[in-house]
Amino acid sequence: MLETSASDHAVYKPHIVAIANQKGGVGKTTTAVNLAASLAASGAPVLLIDFDPQGNASTGLGVASQDRGAGSYQLIDDGAPASIETYHTKYPGLWLIPAGPDLVGAEVELAAKTRREFQLRDALSAWRAAAPFRYILIDCPPSLGLLTLNALVAADGVLVPLQCEFYALEGVSGLTRTIEMVRRRLNPALRLRGVVLTMYDKRNNLSDLVAEDARGFFGDWVYETVIPRNVRLSEAPSHGMPVSEYDPRSAGAQAYAQLAEELLRRDSVPAASAVAR
Ligand code: ADP
Ligand code: MG
């Protein structure tokens, strides 16, 4: 919801969305980077938090290691930081908190802390109300470890990328159980926000079967927009660009633009259907 402050600057309470699936290679980072860029291009300012020690989202947005500053490690380093350092990308409306090298040891360090699941939430909570973003997207690592748990505890919603391949739904129950556990014990506000089918290949019957299965399992939570397998999406990160910049006419760029539109559309509708699953 857009609010207007006394100074007439737009002030948002950003939606915090964790992009999670404990499987690697399903399209989390590709979705995080390109959805963020597409939302920003549609006029919804976005902060993307790279929460994977591999730092693929940071690389994908062309931010070199030496430019990553405090990075997302500052968000899990005990207590609310006085200020949060963000990196303004060269794309209007798109900010990043990159993943620096410190993040590699973070899971182990987190394990020793008392509020180990709440570090990110604590860091964002005071800051969030005044943060000039419509969305904060969190690109999670491929595990259900403490970094992902921190993301789920800080978030209002989880977006799950599901790769259209044979084992897609295997392991999904682990993820839905984790979401349920987090909601019960740590963050009652957490909701499944949507499932996005990725790497859909229309020449492969299996893709349709997986899509059908996913819709059977998740129902309306599956976005209508399906992300096709598209080589431009896999090339763009090596140029440090979102696909919308690398090849705006590609099927991949169009699909992520459409996903951003769908997300914005769903968010502008009163959340009558947004009941807990
Ligand atoms: P994750 O973050 O879940 O590990 P990535 O987003 O890094 O997954 O994707 C894994 C690999 O698949 C990457 O090399 C990426 O470029 C590629 N990829 C992701 N989505 C697509 C797609 N729709 N079409 C083609 N390649 C894709
Ligand atoms: Mg990734």
Ligand 2 center to 182 CA (angstroms):
22
CATH code, residues 6-270: 3.40.50.300
DSSP per position, 35-100: HHHHHHHTT--EEEEE-STT-HHHHHTT--GGG-TTGGGGGSSSS--SS---EE-SSTTEEEE---
Atom of ligand 1 nearest to the CA of 255: 23
Determine which residue's CA is closest to atom 12 belonging to ligand 1: 25
Atom of ligand 1 nearest to the CA of 231: 25
- From 30, 38, 204, 232, give the residue whose CB has the most ligand 1 atoms within 8 Å, as the site to mutate: 30
pLDDT, tens only, 84-134: 899 999 999 999 999 988 899 999 999 999 999 999 999 998 888 788 899
Instruction: Look up the pTM and report it.
Output: 0.92
Atom of ligand 1 nearest to the CA of 252: 23
Determine which residue's CA is closest to atom 24 belonging to ligand 1: 229
Q: What is the pLDDT along the chain (277 residues), one digit of tens a residue?
A: 333 333 333 455 899 999 999 999 999 999 999 999 999 999 999 999 999 999 999 999 999 999 998 899 999 987 677 788 999 999 999 999 999 888 999 999 999 999 999 999 999 988 887 888 999 999 999 999 999 999 999 999 999 999 998 888 888 888 999 999 999 999 999 999 999 999 999 898 899 999 999 999 999 999 999 999 999 999 999 999 999 999 999 999 999 999 999 999 998 854 434 433 3
Q: What is the DSSP letter of 229?
A: P
Atom of ligand 1 nearest to the CA of 229: 24
Give the contacts of 66 (CB within 8 A, at least 6 positions apart): none
SS3 164: coil
Tokens matching residue 229? 């397998």
Judging by DSSP bridges, how do beta strands 87-88 and 191-198 pair with one another? unpaired
Ligand 1 center to 29 CA (angstroms):
7
Ligand 1 center to 35 CA (angstroms):
13
Ligand number, closest to the Cα atom of 21: 1
Determine which residue's CA is closest to atom 5 belonging to ligand 1: 27
Q: Packing angle between helix 251-268 and helix 28-41, nearest 10 degrees?
A: 70
